Amino acid sequence: MATAARKAPAKSVKSSGLSAPKPADFTKDEELAAYRHMLLIRRFEEKAGQLYGMGFIGGFCHLYIGQEAVVTGMKMALIDGDQMITAYRDHGHMLAMELSPRGVMAELTGRRGGLSKGKGGSMHMFSKEKHFYGGHGIVGAQVSLGTGLAFANRYRENKNVSLTYFGDGAANQGQVYESFNMASLWKLPVIFIIENNRYAMGTSVSRSSAETDFSHRGASFKIPGIQVDGMDVRAVKAAADLATEWCRAGNGPLILEMQTYRYRGHSMSDPAKYRSKEEVQKMRSEHDPIEQVKARLIDKKWASEDELKTIDKEVRDIVADAADFAQNDAEPDPSELWTDIVL
C-alpha cells in the first residue's frame, strides 16, 4: 500500500482547487431533520447539565451546546459503514450516530443500562454496530486512532470514510501531525474535522496557536483544508459532501476547520471567566445553529410555530424518557468490576 501510494503524487493545497462550497440548498425535509437532530442534542445536553447539578452525573462532563450543527451536518453526508471518532465532548456525536439517548444518558449516570455498562462514563462510549469508535479522554489520541480506522478502510478496499474530530486545542498535539503525514502518504480516507470553538479549555486560539487558520494545518503534508461556518448546518453539509466525495474518490485526507462556538464552559466545573458574557451572548443571538434553521423554516413557511412546538415536545419527551431511565436504572452489578478486562 505504502509503495503504491507514494507513486501517485498528492494534490497540493494550492493545486487541489478546493474552497469552501456554498451552503447546501436544503429541502424542507432536510431542514426539518436538521432541526430535530440539533434540538435533540441541545435538549439532551441541557438535561445532562441539570442532572450533573443534581449529582446524578459525576466526574467530567463536557457539553456540546452551541456546536450542534457540526455533527448534524457531517452525519447527513455519511453512508453505511462510515466511522466516527472524537474526543471527550462526545454526547452530540453519539446522538448524531443514532446511539440510544437512554444508553448515553444512563452511561452518564453510571448505570448498568449505559452504553458501556456504566464503566466508561461521559468520555468513553463506543458502538461497533453504529460505527462510533469513541469517546476518548486523551487529547489528540483519537486522531491517530481515526487514521487507523481509515487505514482499515483502505486495507479492505471499501468506500468508507473515517470522520475524525478534534478541537483547536488538540490541533497542537504532536501525534496529530504524525497522523497527517501517514494519512497523506498512504492516501487514507479520513476527514480531519477540527472543531474550532475558539478555546482550548481556557486558552484562546490566539494564545495557544501560532497558525490560527486551522485549515492550513495540513500544508506541510499536502492535505488541503477548508474553513467552514460551523454554525450553519447547510454549510457543514456542503463541506461534508465535498469531503466525503474527495475521500471516496481515493484522494486521501482532507481537513475541515469548523468555526464554531461552545456556549457552556469547557466542562461543568469551568466558570468560563476567560471570555466575556457579551461574546457568548452575541454568538447565541446572532449565530445560533438551531435558531437559523428555525427562522428559515418559518420564513419559507415550511413549518408553523405550532408544528415546531410539536417537534420540541417530541424531543423533550425523548430526553425526559432518557433522563428518567438514567436516574432509575440500577447501578452495575459489583461483578462487573471484573468483566471486560481481557477476552
Partner 1 sequence: MPIEILMPALSPTMEEGNLSKWLKNEGDKVVAGDVIAEIETDKATMEVEAVDEGTIAKIVVPAGTEGVKVNAVIAVLAVDGEDVDKAGEGIGEEPAKAETAAPAPAAAKSEAAAPVAAAPKTEIAADPDIPAGTEMVSTTVREALRDAMAEEMRRDGDVFVMGEEVAEYQGAYKITQGLLQEFGPRRVVDTPITEHGFAGVGVGAAMAGLKPIVEFMTFNFAMQAIDQIINSAAKTLYMSGGQMGAPIVFRGPNGAAARVAAQHSQCYAAWYSHIPGLKVVMPYTAADAKGLLKAAIRDPNPVIFLENEILYGQSFDVPKLDDFVLPIGKARIHKQGKDVTIVSFGIGMTYAIKAEAELRGMGIDAEIIDLRSIRPLDFDTIIASVKKTNRLIVVEEGFPQSSVGDHIANQVSQRAFDFLDAPVITVAGKDVPMPYAANLEKLALPNIGEVVEAVKAVTYR
String of contacts with partner 1 for each residue 131-150, x by CB under 8 A: --xxxxxx--x-xxxxxxxx
Residues touching partner 1, count (CB under 8 A): 49
**Least distance to partner 1, CB of residue 38, Å:** 27
Is 7 near partner 1 (CB under 8 A)?
A: no
Q: Which of 20, 33, 185, 272 binds partner 1 (CB under 8 A)?
A: 185
Residue 135 or residue 230: which is nearer to partner 1 going by CB?
135
β partners of residue 11: none
C-alpha Rg value of the chain to the nearest Å: 20
Using CA atoms, how far apart are residues 255 and 213, in angstroms rounded to an integer? 11
Is 339 near partner 1 (CB under 8 A)?
A: yes
Is 174 near partner 1 (CB under 8 A)?
A: yes
Q: Which of 127, 196, 260, 292 binds partner 1 (CB under 8 A)?
A: 127
**Least distance to partner 1, CB of residue 261, Å:** 29
**Least distance to partner 1, CB of residue 218, Å:** 14
Among the listed ranges 177-185, 256-264, 272-280, 281-289, the one in contact with partner 1 (CB under 8 A) is: 177-185
Residue 210 or residue 341: which is nearer to partner 1 going by CB?
341
Residue 85 exposure: Cα atoms within 13 Å on the Cβ side:
24
Using CA atoms, how far apart are residues 257 and 276, in angstroms rounded to an integer? 24
Residue 136 or residue 222: which is nearer to partner 1 going by CB?
136
Using CA atoms, how far apart are residues 237 and 235, in angstroms rounded to an integer? 5
**Least distance to partner 1, CB of residue 123, Å:** 9
Whose cell is 474535522? That residue is: 193
Is 267 near partner 1 (CB under 8 A)?
A: no
Q: Which of 66, 73, 120, 218 binds partner 1 (CB under 8 A)?
A: 120
Other C-beta atoms closer than 10 Å to the C-beta of 209 total: 18
Residue 17 exposure: Cα atoms within 13 Å on the Cβ side:
2
SS3 249: coil
Residue 11 or residue 124: which is nearer to partner 1 going by CB?
124
Q: Which of 16, 100, 175, 267 binds partner 1 (CB under 8 A)?
A: 175
The set of cell numbers assigned to 316 is 423533550
| CA-wise closest residue to 297 among 24, 30, 21, 22 | 30
Is 323 near partner 1 (CB under 8 A)?
A: no
Residue 57 or residue 141: which is nearer to partner 1 going by CB?
141
String of contacts with partner 1 for each residue 221-240, x by CB under 8 A: --------------------
Using CA atoms, how far apart are residues 253 and 221, in angstroms rounded to an integer? 10
Q: Which of 83, 86, 122, 292 binds partner 1 (CB under 8 A)?
A: 83
Write the DSSP string, 103-169. HHHHHHTT-TTSTTTTSS-TT---BTTTTB-----STTHHHHHHHHHHHHHHHHT----EEEEEETT
Is 86 near partner 1 (CB under 8 A)?
A: no
Is 153 near partner 1 (CB under 8 A)?
A: yes
What dihedral angle (degrees, nearest 10) is formed by the CA atoms of 14, 17, 19, 25? Answer: -170
Q: Which of 8, 79, 152, 295 binds partner 1 (CB under 8 A)?
A: 152
Residue 118 or residue 252: which is nearer to partner 1 going by CB?
118
SS3 270: coil
Residue 65 or residue 255: which is nearer to partner 1 going by CB?
255
Beta pairing, strands 225-229 & 254-259: parallel
The set of cell numbers assigned to 317 is 419527551
* Residues making contact with partner 1 (CB under 8 A): 1-4, 83, 85, 114-120, 124-128, 133-138, 141, 143-153, 155, 174-175, 178-179, 181-182, 185, 339-343
